[in-house]
Amino acid sequence: MIRAHYAILYLVAVEEAPAEDVLRQVAATKPGRAILLWDIVRGWSDNGADKGTVMGALGRIAKASEQEAAIFVLRDLHPWLKQPNSKDSVPIVRELKNLSRELKRTRKTIVLLSHTLELPVELTEAVTVLDAPLPNAAEIDALISQLVIPDKLHLTPLAREQLVKACQGLSRSRIERVLAKALAAKQMVNETDIDEVLDAKKQAIRQTGILEFFTTERSLKSVGGLENLKQWVQMRQDVFTEEARRYGIPNPKGLLLVGIQGTGKSLSAKTIAHEWRLPLLRLDTGRLFGGIVGESESRMRQMIQIADAIAPCVLWIDELDKAFGNLNSSTDGDSGTSRRVFGTLITWMQEKTSPVFIVATANNVQILPAELLRKGRFDEIFFLNLPNDRERQEIFKIYLQRLRPSRLREFDVEKLAWTARNFSGAEIEQVIIDGMHRAFGKGQVSKRQDFTTDDILESIQETVPLASISQQQIETLQQWAERSGARNASQ
């Protein structure tokens, strides 16, 4: 790009130092270029000039000789680009537009280096955006060799591979800190440090504010019914292995789980990650949309970068309809932010090559944009209906086994399932808990009676299921599933 006379590049990098190292390498390639760095506090790296003045820094670039070959790196210019119509930003944006035309005829390039992308509409045609990725597996392996001498590295080949995988999704500085802590504590790095790395990863992901690192111990056995969905998942449990790659199987894209509230969509997302032994990331769509212009798009890009770096992983997008429902309506209260974020998401879903398996859930699928549901976005769309009689028996057994394993045979599961017609899995769990409260509250402290079938039956009879309250909405959803060809998750 620099040889092709791109005037302004915007480099989005979590860490400055590695990005600047790459720029120095580029500047050193023949024919060589000078590299000059500027920030608001210390000014230019060669003479300290233009401290505290962005226009002064841009002025030096404009006045530089046309014969000069240089890369001008401006650090953290995003605060002035975030609000392009403010009094301080207008001349900066204008001057960048001027320079974008003038530098095309020279061997001078401006690189805007920042951890976040803030680009006003006025500069979209003038600026080319690049993402500096987090380190990949090969780079992490090389970093470990660089930071830890062989005598201090007590790892089997398999443990080293696991450590590298655990480090994926972390910045170089975080990896350095974890390894330095291990060396300081016990003068070596061994298998026990993998857990430390995973803790650092959880903290890094939590700090994004939009992703959450989930650890789940629930297997498919903890899900009652949904046999078709379970069979689909089990058939693909080795799909992310090297053996599958050699066989020629492409990475699966993901699943869309559609259904009535409480039918096990979120639980299924968790169990898929456990079944495939992959890390689970949950995207909080509510936090995705920021109040500042451009912030939401930047957060989506950050989410994609982290998911790609951690892959193979499962990305769980809960309640997709709440974030991207009714995008086709005439009202556009957020100035098109939702559409832009949605566009970034579906483009990534279509074109991603990294092994990120998306499990999206939705209650009201009919308000989702049609382009999200077309073939190629997801491998399959499953409809989770209200559990049938056999599935309700399974769900009662699963919860009662968890709460009273020694007394499971004392409960009349068939009667409970028959009485709880039209109850969802979540509602079945709740009536069991309510039955426990009833039994606990009946006796005195010294004569507590354990809960029985009758206590649960009382709770069922006093509960109005969602199917009765939202009957029309549920029937409409069932009709949609029939028309759309969505697969039934139950047999």
Q: Mean pLDDT over residues 90-110, rounded?
A: 93
Percent with pLDDT over 70 in the chain = 96
Domain match, 195 and 252 both? no
CB atoms within 10 A of CB 401: 14
Domain match, 248 and 373 both? yes
Instruction: Tell me if 135 sits within 8 A of 146, measured CB to CB.
Output: no
In-domain check, residue 285: yes
Range of the domain at 350: 214-386
Angle at 289 between CA 286 and CA 292, to 5 degrees: 145
CA 289 to chain centre: 14
Instruction: Tell me if 261 sits within 8 A of 363, measured CB to CB.
Output: yes
Instruction: Tell me if 297 sits within 8 A of 336, measured CB to CB.
Output: no
CA distance 255 to 271: 13
Instruction: Tell me if 478 sits within 8 A of 385, measured CB to CB.
Output: yes
Domain match, 229 and 372 both? yes
Q: Return the pLDDT at 443.
A: 65
* Higher-scoring residue by pLDDT: 23, 251: 23
> Running DSSP on this structure, what letter comes out for residue 399?
H
Domain count, the chain: 4
Torsion of CA 310, 305, 291, 372, to 10 degrees: -90
pLDDT, averaged across the chain: 86
pLDDT at 314 over 70: yes
In-domain check, residue 362: yes
184 phi and psi, to 5 degrees?
-70, -35
Domain match, 342 and 443 both? no
The domain boundary residue, chosen from 163, 182, 207: 207
Domain match, 106 and 162 both? no
Domain match, 16 and 106 both? yes
Q: Mean pLDDT over residues 8-34, rounded?
A: 92
Strands 356-362 and 380-384, bridge-based pairing: unpaired
Q: Return the pLDDT at 139.
A: 92
SS3 percent helix, strand, coil of the chain, rounded to 5, is 50, 15, 35
| 3 state SS of 132 | strand
Region class of 277: left (phi > 0), else alpha (psi between -120 and 50), else beta: left
- Type of residue found at 134: L
pLDDT at 466 over 70: yes
Lowest mean pLDDT, pick from 33-47, 78-92, 253-267, 391-405: 78-92
In-domain check, residue 2: no
Contacts of residue 441, defined as CB under 8 A and 6 or more positions apart, other chains included, come to none
When pLDDT is cut at 50, 70 and 90, the band that residue 95 belongs to is: very high
H/E element, 34: strand 34-39
Q: Mean pLDDT over residues 228-250, rounded?
A: 86
CA 202 to chain centre: 12
CA distance 40 to 53: 7
Domain match, 203 and 298 both? no
- Type of residue found at 298: S
The domain boundary residue, chosen from 181, 207, 233: 207
pLDDT at 395 over 60: yes
Contacts of residue 128, defined as CB under 8 A and 6 or more positions apart, other chains included, come to 1, 6, 8, 9, 10
CA distance 257 to 490: 12
The Cα-based distances of 316 to 65, 131, 214, 255, 361 in angstroms read 53, 23, 10, 10, 8
Q: Which domain CATH number covers 221?
A: 3.40.50.300
Domain match, 273 and 370 both? yes
Q: Which domain CATH number covers 151?
A: 1.10.8
Q: Determine the longest span between alpha carbons in the chain, in angstroms.
A: 94
Domain match, 259 and 364 both? yes
CA distance 64 to 46: 14
When pLDDT is cut at 50, 70 and 90, the band that residue 291 belongs to is: low
Domain match, 63 and 192 both? no
H/E element, 419: helix 413-419
In-domain check, residue 474: no
Q: Mean pLDDT over residues 75-88, rounded?
A: 84
143 phi and psi, to 5 degrees?
-65, -40
Q: Mean pLDDT over residues 123-139, rounded?
A: 90
Q: Mean pLDDT over residues 70-83, rounded?
A: 92
In-domain check, residue 470: no
In-domain check, residue 224: yes
240 phi and psi, to 5 degrees?
-100, 10
Q: Mean pLDDT over residues 415-424, rounded?
A: 92
Contacts of residue 35, defined as CB under 8 A and 6 or more positions apart, other chains included, come to 23, 24, 27, 70, 71, 73
pLDDT at 418 over 50: yes
Q: Mean pLDDT over residues 304-309, rounded?
A: 85
Domain match, 115 and 247 both? no
Domain match, 128 and 163 both? no
Instruction: Tell me if 395 sits within 8 A of 224, measured CB to CB.
Output: yes
pLDDT at 346 over 90: no
Partnered with residue 34 across adjacent β-strands are: 70
In-domain check, residue 3: no
> DSSP string of 138-194?
HHHHHHHHHHS-GGGB---HHHHHHHHHHHTTS-HHHHHHHHHHHHHHHSSB-TTHH
Q: Return the pLDDT at 485.
A: 79
Q: Return the pLDDT at 394.
A: 92
Instruction: Tell me if 296 sits within 8 A of 341, measured CB to CB.
Output: yes
Whose CA is closest to 183, among 157, 175, 168? 175
Which residue, chain included where needed, has tokens 């969802």? 424
In-domain check, residue 116: yes
When pLDDT is cut at 50, 70 and 90, the band that residue 330 belongs to is: very low
pLDDT at 329 over 80: no
CA distance 237 to 295: 36
The domain boundary residue, chosen from 101, 132, 163: 132
Q: Return the pLDDT at 326.
A: 67
